[in-house]
Amino acid sequence: MRRRSLNTKLLVNLLRPETDLELALLHVPEFQIGLDWGEPRFGHPEGKVAWHVREVLDNVDRLKGITDSERRRLRLITYAHDTFKYMEDRSSPRNWARHHGAIASDFMKDYTSDQVVLDIITTHDDAYYAWLHERKSVENLKHKTLQSLLMRMDYCIQLYYMFFKCDTLTGDKTLAPITWFEQNATGIRIFPMERV
């Protein structure tokens, strides 16, 4: 059975925006389309992006000992990170400039100048790709290594890690990438969390 489309009122009730910016994003047509996109699939049995965003927001709420600033940033990253999957170029070879994270980051430049938020949105899947590349030596991921990610995100690696963990502990995603990241990334303080 197909769930009904998510309108602004339903999105506000589901995602419970806490800032004027979060509320404003829920009124943007491209954002609404992205939150309403998706069918149940491996890693995302919830289907629609909005339901996944709700799960990640719940995980952000479970992080203990984070600052208000970190929480605001994590929430904004969560709102945007997968919202432009519907616009992603899925051709082969992959056009990384048309990855949903890059599209989302470009979109969000009109709403925030916070480079930490923009960089994490852009690279939010790169830790997973680095794990996949190391595990399977996937040719089109040879540039997605843990070393290159850590070098690029060194200035905000703790926040990157917190988001990666909150995003990974959703749906029926495998936990192996986050375990691998915690074992191999230097300079992070590990947050113990379990999938709810």
List the domain range (segments joined by +) for residue 50. 10-184
Inside any domain, residue 80:
yes
pLDDT at 148: 94
The CATH number of whichever domain residue 168 belongs to comes to: 1.10.3210
* 27 phi-psi bin (left φ>0, alpha ψ -120 to 50, beta other): alpha
pLDDT at 94: 81
Mean pLDDT of the chain: 92
Query: Is the pTM for the entire model greater than 0.85?
Result: yes
Domains identified in the chain, total number: 1
Eight-state DSSP code of residue 191: P
Inside any domain, residue 72:
yes
Amino acid at 97: A
